[in-house]
Chains A and B, each alone.
Chain A
């Protein structure tokens, strides 16, 4: 199974952009890149996903390298509420029987006022 590598932790200042990196050098052509985040005492929350092209939504942007071996989640303006563990996950198609999300260690983002 393809794995992801993320820094254990990162710090950001409030109202500044945050770039969260993820390496996935063994990604295969059919693996989607998903990002979820988990706030304290809550379940994970879907953030964004993509396959090859950069993606934007109301929460964040996802920049995917041309060779797909790495990606970056971009929070354009961090708030204190963005402090969470951010997981970069490769969604591995499991035939048609299921959709496996294999969570890695994640990056703990701390936001300073």
Chain B
């Protein structure tokens, strides 16, 4: 069982919908991450938060909007996504940005 919890596990949405992915950890970690993983490919970093502040945005399109309301929660707001955005979205956390990362099992997103 993972200590990083992601909800929902599966999400199907249309291109005009607005939805949010949620990630939660209660390990006292102060760094949190979003990754995108396409089928049979390695994960790709999207965003890094450190102490609730966005520290890295890997040139992600604005239709993906991250939010870190507190040290335990990380959201990814989705709007006007494209079919090519269908992927597994992974959340991770670490004690600080210099420590190993703990991953959730991801949200599998399908865009119709």
**Bind each other:** yes
Show the binding face of A for B, using Cβ within 8 Å.
Answer: 34, 36, 41-46, 49, 87, 94, 96-106
Name the prevailing secondary structure of the B interface residues: strand
Q: Which 6 A-B pairs have the closest CB atoms?
A: A43-B103, A103-B42, A99-B97, A98-B56, A98-B48, A46-B100
Known: A36-B101, A98-B31. 15 other contacts (CB 8 A): A43-B103, A44-B43, A44-B101, A44-B103, A87-B42, A94-B55, A97-B48, A97-B50, A98-B48, A98-B50, A98-B56, A100-B48, A101-B45, A101-B101, A103-B44
Q: Could you say which of A94, A96, A99, A103 contacts B43, with CB atoms under 8 Å apart?
A: A103
Cβ of B29 to closest chain A Cβ, rounded Å: 12
CA distance A50 to B45 in the complex (A): 21
Show the binding face of B for A, using Cβ within 8 Å.
Answer: 2, 4, 31, 42-45, 48, 50, 55-56, 90, 92, 94, 97-106
Cβ of B49 to closest chain A Cβ, rounded Å: 9
Q: Which residues of B contact A104 (CB under 8 A)?
A: 42
Q: A44-B43, A106-B42 are known contacts. Are A99 and B94 too (CB-CB below 8 A)?
A: yes
Does B105 contact A98, Cβ atoms closer than 8 Å? no
Interface centre among B4, B90, B101, B106 (most CB of A within 10 A): B101
Q: Which residues of B contact A96 (CB under 8 A)?
A: 97
